[in-house]
Amino acid sequence: MSLRSALAVVAALLVAIGLAGALSAGWGYALFLVAGLALGAAVACMAILGLTRLGVAETLLARARILARTGVAAYVLALAALAGHYGHETLAGRMEWHWVLFGPLVLAALVAVEWGVYRKLLRAGAPALLRYRAHLSRSQADPAAMRLTLWNDVIVHKSLWQVSRLRWLRHTLIFWGFGLMFITELAAVFVREAMPAFGWGDPWRVPGHPLRLAFDLVYDITGLMMLVGCLLALAWRAGVQNKPERKFSDTPMVVFLLVVVVTGFLVEGARLAQTPDSAHHAYSVVGQVFAAGMTSVGWASPALHKPLWLVHMVASCAFIGWLPATRLIHTCATPLGRLLHSQTGLLAAKKHAVLSGLMRPRHPHP
């Protein structure tokens, strides 16, 4: 039996055990934790390989492969375990209707975005990696150039700053706002769902808990970054209507993301409007602004909270699933290409090998 077949069998068993009510949510979140740690360690190995001269290349690559496969397997098993557990809870009538909708939609969004990223980045980039593989040499690598390119082109987007400061600002706000909110949401899932499942307490649902207030602040900051970035992108798009720069815009993506961000703030505003004088809202600054605006126009009814949440949830899942088709995916692919092209020694070795092959004398067959 192949490893893929064995993984499918184990995943099916976890679903069946979960549906039978013999598997707690803690098992699924524990597997998620293993997946996250393994994939993070794989990325760390590749970072050490590319950004330093530490370690042996073959050892780092071998460990990265093992860790990545372990992470993917644990991730698949985590989804199976959680699907079985929450499926049992749904059949037992212990799940509210909006959470029953949430599970399948999130699963579909995750499958769509993961397949899209695999197809656009990994499968599409495999031929180029294979062409370079024979010329990859630790001695010809330039970690200093890799680190400089990482800082300039991936972290601070220096080249875009030199082209247009307005484009840099809206790109940076959207890129880092989205990225930081994604990381924050992963941490929030651990605090909100995994910690109670492990029996470690439930700080998320303790009013005024410092950890929850910290998450509120980060959510507001990253949401505001994306909100301002989207508005700047739309203003910039209007300004280049008949100019060549128009090709760098992606208006449908920006509008879609803006809908997700605004509906998210509306959900937060509807929640905060129920207790407007609570000190527990001190760090939800943007949410308080939305709550005040919703109260002034009569949108503060508790009955609006779940419908708004449903709209936001459906919009968020649809956006995540559609993400690989937007220009946001190029903000990942382009930096990867620039990191590769920073390795001039490896590029020169590949060019030399190609030219040597072309110039090699060919002897006619007898």
- Claim to verify: residue 300 and residue 211 sit in the same structural domain: yes
Q: Classify the C-alpha dihedral 120-123-127-128 as positive or negative.
A: positive
Residue 71 and residue 111 share a domain: no
pLDDT 10s digits, 35-82? 999 999 999 998 888 888 776 777 888 899 999 999 999 999 999 999
Total number of domains constituting the chain: 2
| Res 176: pLDDT | 93
Same domain assignment for residues 44 and 3: yes
Same-domain check for residues 58 and 110: no
Note whether 169 and 264 are same-domain residues.
Answer: yes
- The CATH number assigned to the domain holding 213 equals 1.20.950
**What is the pLDDT, as a whole number, of residue 138?**
63
Whether residues 330 and 237 share a domain: the answer is yes
Q: State the DSSP string of 243-295.
A: SGGGGG--HHHHHHHHHHHHHHHHHHHHHHTTSTT-GGGTT-HHHHHHHHHHH
The pLDDT assigned to 301 comes to 84
At 252-296, the pLDDT tens digits run 889 999 999 999 999 999 999 988 878 888 899 999 999 999 999
- Give the burial class of 345: count Cβ atoms within 10 A of its Cβ; 0-12 exposed, 13-18 middle, 19 or more buried: middle
* Domain interval for residue 183: 101-125+137-346
Q: What proportion of the chain, given as a percentage, has pLDDT over 70?
A: 84
What pLDDT does residue 134 have? 59
- Per the model's pLDDT, the better-predicted residue between 90 and 50 turns out to be 90
pLDDT band at 157 (very low <50, low <70, confident <90, very high): confident
> Is the confidence at residue 300, as pLDDT, over 60?
yes
Confirm whether 11 is domain-assigned. Answer: yes
Rounded to an integer, the average pLDDT of 214-243 is: 91
Average pLDDT over residues 344-359: 62
Average pLDDT, the chain: 86
Percent of the chain with pLDDT strictly greater than 90: 50
pLDDT (0 to 100) of residue 327 = 67
Q: Based on the domain organization, do 186 and 328 belong to the same domain?
A: yes
Nearest to 174 by CA among 222, 119, 237: 222
Average pLDDT for residues 317-329, to the nearest whole number?
A: 81
Residues 200 and 287 in one domain: yes
In-domain check, residue 207: yes
pLDDT > 90? residue 31: yes
The answer to whether position 356 is within a domain reads: no
* pLDDT, average across residues 1-12: 90
Q: What is the pLDDT of residue 16?
A: 97
Looking at the predicted structure, is the pLDDT value of residue 130 above 90?
Answer: no
Q: Is the pLDDT of residue 22 over 60?
A: yes
Average pLDDT for residues 165-190, to the nearest whole number?
Answer: 92
Res 10 pLDDT > 90:
yes
Instruction: Write the secondary structure of 113-156 as one string of H (helix), E (strand) and C (coil).
Output: HHHHHHHHHHHHHHHHHHHHHCCCCCCCCCHHHHHHHHHHHHHC
19 and 87 Cβ atoms separated by less than 8 Å: yes
